[in-house]
Structure 1
């Protein structure tokens, strides 16, 4: 049985040691390849299970929602802009770079839970419109 959430010490700790200068970065580039712009529909046959969003300054809620709606893990920082996603089982939230690394490792070794019909509905335009109407509503006590 796979635990629903990763244990606190899910794996060996990853040490985040970014380059300290442009010179150091050029001499020791980050081991990553960026393939450019792709339509995510073209990736439907690729078996990616994890979406990682490390930003708290850029609003990436749409891509996080797409990943969760597609039944993938979303590893995202604990931040007010991400509160909506905390209700989804496949949303793994972190507070520190070390927790992020642990969650990435855990997600890479586990399968995302299938979305229930109720949770899948949260990603529809109908549900989004209902949330908007509720958020915009003014009660009699709030009106002037």
Structure 2
């Protein structure tokens, strides 16, 4: 039998911002919980103040790989709202010293539990859950999250 990570579905969940007393009890990463966040960078505040932008300015979902291309895109900072209720959000985030391998680890790791997801952005992240196929624990980190579905 393959060594797989069980999804952590919680159909009775009561989503909430922040972390409630006891939620981090026994978690090795509890020491990293910090609800105090730095202010939004000026370029992000400016983009939000503009309101939603025209959807044609956004990269199509299937073109997401182009985000790593050199140069800037039409919508580098801002958001668009779509008729189907979805949203495209773009924020240029400089992360000196962060490697692609670090990002692969983080995007897999944080989605394994809601509390981990909240460490990333505690004032906005409410819930994360894997759905669909189980993930191979021995698979490279990137394979654990690319193409996977989250609720």
Is TM more than 0.5 here?
A: no
Q: Tell which structure's C-alpha radius of gyration is larger.
A: 1
Q: Tell which has more relative contact order, 1 or 2 (C-alpha 8 A, sep 6+).
A: 2
Q: What TM-score range do you get, normalising by the shorter chain?
A: under 0.3
TM-score (norm 2): 0.24
Higher helix share: 1
TM-score (norm 1): 0.25
